[in-house]
Amino acid sequence: MDMRAARYHGPGKPLSIEKVPVRPLRMGEALVRVKAAGICYTDTHFLTGVLNLGIHPLTLGHEIAGEVADLSAAAQSLRVGDRVLVYYYATCGQCHWCRTDRANLCPQVVAEYGFTADGGYAEFVIVPAANLVKLPGDLDLLEAATLGCSVTTAIHAARTIADLRLGETAVVYGAGGVGFGLIQFCKLAGARVIAVSRSPGKRAKASQLGADAVVDGSGDVGRAVRDLTAGEGAEVVFELVGSKVTMAHAVNALRRRGRLVFIGYSNDLFVANPLQLVIGELTVTASVGNTFDELLQAVALAAARKITPVVDRAVSLEELPATLEALREGKIIGRAVVVFP
């Protein structure tokens, strides 16, 4: 059997829509008919080479929701037809990190779907059945797909890395898919949220999702945050952009003992005079991916309507390259999602 897939051929080369074979299942694997695959900013990093794992040709796409189409004999926990969301890390399960619920840091990761192994920009994806989360009936697959990276990354960053506390002020610096997840999760956690974006449309969306204040990212963000916090600064800044300018503003926006959490990145270097960190006893930390447990939390929060996935538009596989370009130009509010009929 063949399927259509958007194939990545390395940095600087366009994605191409190709027919590729669907291989037979191995022990414990499931074949998932992809119904929706969220388009993450990380995919633009693959295309530009900002992120280059050296593996191609490859099918990108790590926010994957669909239906179980086939199961190997050993995969008993699911049924054909089940609606599922993919946990995109297949980890070793044996190492220190896997055994201490930090599998996102597993150094012996077997596969990361959409990063090192074929992902969801295709009609089918093959993953271990153990990587599938069964979705509640009332969760739309289009919305569910976006939980796979954007919302669960937000939960990992806010809860596990920043250890965000009730009453703290959090700056969400960059209003993309993860940013919109962060705004909602930080509000649920009892924080005051200041969202930063250069786009008026994204600022309006941030307000709609509950941000207490919004700041225009083209101005002096550090000063604006201080003005909004009686000169103190914020306890936590989530840095979702990672450019030279935003990194400098992010440090300036921190309160004493503040925590700067990197999630976004570019080719720019983080430069700070240690004195600035020393004087305020600032912490610089970072967040990558998520654990299986955090993905379950994301699904539960979405099912309870406490977090709303922000879907800008549904596109066809053929529209994926142009949509990635629109994402890079800041024209997508939240997630665009590739859908398959």
- 124 is written with which tokens? 């089918």
Q: Would you state the torsion angle of the CA atoms of residues 317, 4, 87, 188, taken in this order, to the nearest 10 degrees?
A: 10
Q: Which stretch binds Zn ion (CB under 5 A): 33-41, 163-171, 181-189, 281-289?
A: 33-41
Query: Which of residues 16 and 108 has its CB atom nearest to Zn ion in the complex?
Result: 108
Smallest distance from the beta carbon of 212 to Zn ion, in angstroms?
A: 26
Considering the complex, state which of residue 39 and residue 141 has its C-beta at the smaller distance from Zn ion: 39
Least separation in angstroms between CB 178 and Zn ion:
8
How many residues bind Zn ion, per CB under 5 A? 8
Looking at beta carbons only, is 91 or 246 nearer to Zn ion?
91
Contact set for Zn ion, span 235-264 (CB under 5 A) = none
Cβ closer to Zn ion: 38 or 217? 38
Q: What is the 3-state secondary structure (H, E, C) of 193-221?
A: EEEEECCHHHHHHHHHCCCCEEEECCCCH
Closest contact distance (angstroms) between CB of 226 and Zn ion is: 31
338 backbone dihedrals φ, ψ, rounded to 5°:
-80, 130
Q: CA-to-CA distance for 164 and 169, rounded, in angstroms? A: 9
| Least distance in angstroms from the C-beta of 6 to Zn ion | 16
For residue 37, the minimal CB distance to Zn ion (Å) is: 11
Question: CB neighbours of 24 closer than 8 A, spacing ≥ 6?
Answer: none
| Binding positions for Zn ion, 140-159, rule CB under 5 A | 149
CB of 150 to Zn ion, least distance (A): 7
Contact between 106 and Zn ion by CB under 5 A: the answer reads yes
Which of 30, 40, 47, 301 is close enough to bind Zn ion by CB under 5 A?
A: 40
Both tokens assigned to 13: 């080369």
Burial 68-107, CB ≥16 within 10 A → b, else e: bbbbbeebeebeeebbbbbbbbbbeeebebbeeeebbbbe
* Gap between the Cα atoms of 133 and 108, Å rounded: 22
Instruction: Report whether the peptide linkage leading into residue 57 is cis, meaning its omega lies within 30 degrees of zero.
Output: yes
Task: Please pick, from the candidates 35, 39, 42, 291, the single residue that binds Zn ion as defined by CB under 5 A.
Answer: 42
Enumerate residues 6+ apart whose C-beta is below 8 A from 314.
Answer: 36, 142, 336, 337, 338, 339
Write down the least CB distance from residue 320 to Zn ion, Å: 15
Residues 77-96 that bind Zn ion (CB under 5 A): 91-92, 95
Interaction site with Zn ion (CB under 5 A): 40, 42, 91-92, 95, 98, 106, 149
